[in-house]
Amino acid sequence: MSKEKDENVSEEVVAPPETEVVNTLTFEDELNAQNAELLDKLQRSLAEFDNFRKRTIKEKSEMFDIGAMSIVTKILPVVDNFERALNSLTNKEDNMYKGILMIYKQLEEALDSSEVKAIACMGEKFDPNLHNAVAHEKIEGAEENVIVEELQKGYRFKDKVIRPSMVKVAN
């Protein structure tokens, strides 16, 4: 029986117990890799936040400009009416004329301080981006496609055209 026991029992080779050695280079490399990964994530997060901040500032500025253009668009007909009133009064010494002129100048100053500028057009070449030609007239001595009469002033806010000038162009 002892022989059978010996046959059934397999011999296991047991290795001598090894002392566990921690490789410090591997641990340091792993820490450096984790640090690099975290630094990369941090830098990306900071870049995303900076882009968000810049985009928000730009959008806020654009929204302000849209609001300002909306208000200016509503004020322009009032300015036009003041110009018509000034042109209709013949007596320049009348107090009514002087009062209307003072209010008109205040409106012009307010528009100018808000970066709203009138579009120059008399004697200029017709530019469809700035002018709206509502009439063409053959005029001797006038160069072709030159504006000969301004029917309604055009305005721009900063670099954007709010309202093109309504003009008559020479053929």
Question: Does 171 fall in a domain?
Answer: yes
For residues 122 and 94, membership in a common domain is answered with no
Is residue 35 in a domain? Answer: yes
Q: Which domain holds residue 76?
A: 30-114
The answer as to whether 98 is a domain residue is yes
Percent of the chain as helix, strand, coil, to the nearest 5 = 55, 20, 30
Whether 151 is covered by a domain: the verdict is yes
Q: Judge if 121 and 109 occupy the same domain.
A: no
In a domain, 108, yes or no: yes
Average pLDDT over residues 119-132: 93
Reported confidence tier of residue 105, pLDDT bands at 50, 70, 90 = very high
Return phi, psi of residue 158, to 5°: 55, -115
Q: Does the reported pTM lie above 0.85?
A: no
Q: What is the domain count for the chain?
A: 2
pLDDT for 28 beyond 70: yes
69-97 pLDDT per residue, tens = 999 999 999 999 999 999 999 898 999 99
The CATH number for 93's domain is 3.90.20
